[in-house]
Amino acid sequence: MKKLYHLRIKTKDMSKLVIMPGDPNRSRYIADRFLKNVKIINTNRGIDAYTGTYKNKTVSVVTSGMGAPSAAIVIEELKRLGVDTIIRTGTCGGVNKCIKPGDVIIPTGAGSMIGFKRVYGIHEVPSSPDFYVMQKLVSNADKKGIRYHTGPIVTSDSFFSEKSHAKMLESKGILAMEMECSALFALGIVRHIKTGAVLLSTGNINYAEQVMDTPRIRKSMDIMIGIALDSIVA
């Protein structure tokens, strides 16, 4: 195995199945609330990572950090550790009027307002999730009986300039904006990792403030995490 610079993880401590939040606090929350027999396997560089069991299967939870460059570093090193499936559990800002705070989105693809793909030389590679992973996510969302959406999103490099693009993106049929999926999906294709994502809208950029935290959002967060875990062990 090539040297890892950021994840100080032994291969034996790593599951091939990874849930990937952006926020280290959410990684810890998933590990504490949803997994059994949890072991922390990395704290280096703030990339908190845990391994435990869910429905008797070993699952790791690994923080991606914010944005495509951070996510790409983590994904590359996870591949070197033998990971073959990654599902992102993240937040997003809706841009389409149909997206309400607390809604769940399962992306069918991610447009790229990022530099990552150009620098990697993979601009032509579509940012699409694995079809079978996405199918499992949709199936498990149906079982939860919640309000969810499927459709295209856009990944942005620039959190504080997203509002200036939001109206244009809505007019082109985009549901929401976030910061990691385009890199995850494209790198998944290139590195032969099965990928998918389930996202939680914490607001709507065009139609409401980013409310971030309400009882509905907290409840939807648990449902979103359950969808991802049920899908990755299926």
DSSP designation for 4: P
Nearest to 201 by CA among 231, 169, 223: 223
Instruction: Determine the pLDDT at residue 213.
Output: 85
Which tops the pLDDT comparison, 183 or 116?
Answer: 183
Mean pLDDT of 9-29: 98
pLDDT reported for residue 39: 98
Distance CA 153, CA 145 (A): 22
**Cα separation, 11 vs 30, whole angstroms:** 21
Closest CA to 60 of 17, 124, 122: 17
Distance between CA atoms of 84 and 76, rounded to whole angstroms? Answer: 11
% of the chain exceeding 90 in pLDDT: 89
Give the model's pLDDT for residue 209. Answer: 75
Q: What SS3 state is found at 158?
A: coil
What percentage of the chain has pLDDT greater than the value 70?
99
At 212 the pLDDT is 77
Q: What is the pLDDT of residue 161?
A: 86
DSSP 75-101: HHHHHHTT--EEEEEEEEEE-STT--T
Residue 116: the pLDDT is 87
- Alpha carbon distance 76, 62 (integer Å): 13
**pLDDT tens per residue across span 47-94:** 999 999 999 999 999 999 999 999 999 999 999 999 999 999 999 999
Is residue 3's pLDDT more than 90?
A: no
116 φψ region: left (φ > 0), alpha (ψ -120 to 50), beta (else): alpha
CA distances from 167 to 149, 161, 218 (A): 19, 12, 27
Average pLDDT over residues 27-46: 98
- Tell me what pLDDT residue 152 has: 98
31 Cα distance to chain centroid? 16
Q: What is the pLDDT of residues 177-229, one digit of tens each?
A: 999 999 999 999 999 999 999 999 999 999 987 787 889 999 999 999 999 99
pLDDT recorded at residue 140: 98
What CA–CA distance (Å, rounded) separates 185 from 198? 12
